[in-house]
Homo-oligomer: A and B are copies of this chain.
Amino acid sequence: MKYLWLCLIIFVVVSAPVKVVGQSSKTQGLSLEDAKRVIAAAEQRARQDRWNVVIVLVDEGGHLIHLIRMDSVQTASIDIAIQKARTATFYKRSTKVFQDRVAAGESALLSLPDMLPFEGGLPIIKEGVVIGAIGVSGVTAEQDGIIAQAGLDAL
């Protein structure tokens, strides 16, 4: 029995990118299943108007869970969509709030870290707690916002 424990410890220490012990499927607020449902709904909304976009979901810490880039989207939209999602989770609000305030003249906001002031990033809230965010980029900021909302509505 002691030997077994030793083996286990050695295994954990030695194996480099080690798999998570147990692999319980509830460690993060947003499961991959949730993410797929959200992105599928957003993608469907986008295709409805033939809008080509990048759609991403991040967890509460701003780390990617799911990303799709539709064909022909400008490359810049990858980072823009990611940054919108990060803005939404880091600041716990829609990126549109920042867009409106910057448009109203609050240029000081532009120096905020991890903040992209364009509509299309929305926090995902569960029981009052932000558990991640969706970010969309590729068409106009307003259209990006419509797609992001369609994604959230699927949750």
- Shortest Cβ distance from A54 into B: residue: B64
A117 contact from B15, B108, B129, Cβ within 8 A: B108
A16-B140, A24-B128 known; A102 vs B97 contact (CB < 8 Å): no
- A15 lies within 8 A of B140 (CB): yes
A72 contact from B24, B71, B72, B91, Cβ within 8 A: B24
Question: Is A67 in the interface zone, CB < 8 Å from B?
Answer: yes
A140 contact from B17, B23, B72, B79, Cβ within 8 A: B17
* Complex-state Cα separation, A26 to B107, whole angstroms: 34
The range of chain A's interface size is 35 or more
A102 contact from B66, B107, B118, Cβ within 8 A: B107
List A91-149 residues whose CB lies under 8 Å from chain B.
91-93, 97, 99-103, 107-118, 128-130, 137-141, 144
Residues of chain B lying within 8 A (CB to CB) of residue A109: 16
Residues of chain B lying within 8 A (CB to CB) of residue A137: 17
Q: What would be 9 A-B contacts, judged by CB atoms less than 8 Å apart? A: A17-B138, A17-B139, A27-B71, A32-B68, A59-B61, A65-B68, A74-B91, A76-B115, A110-B110
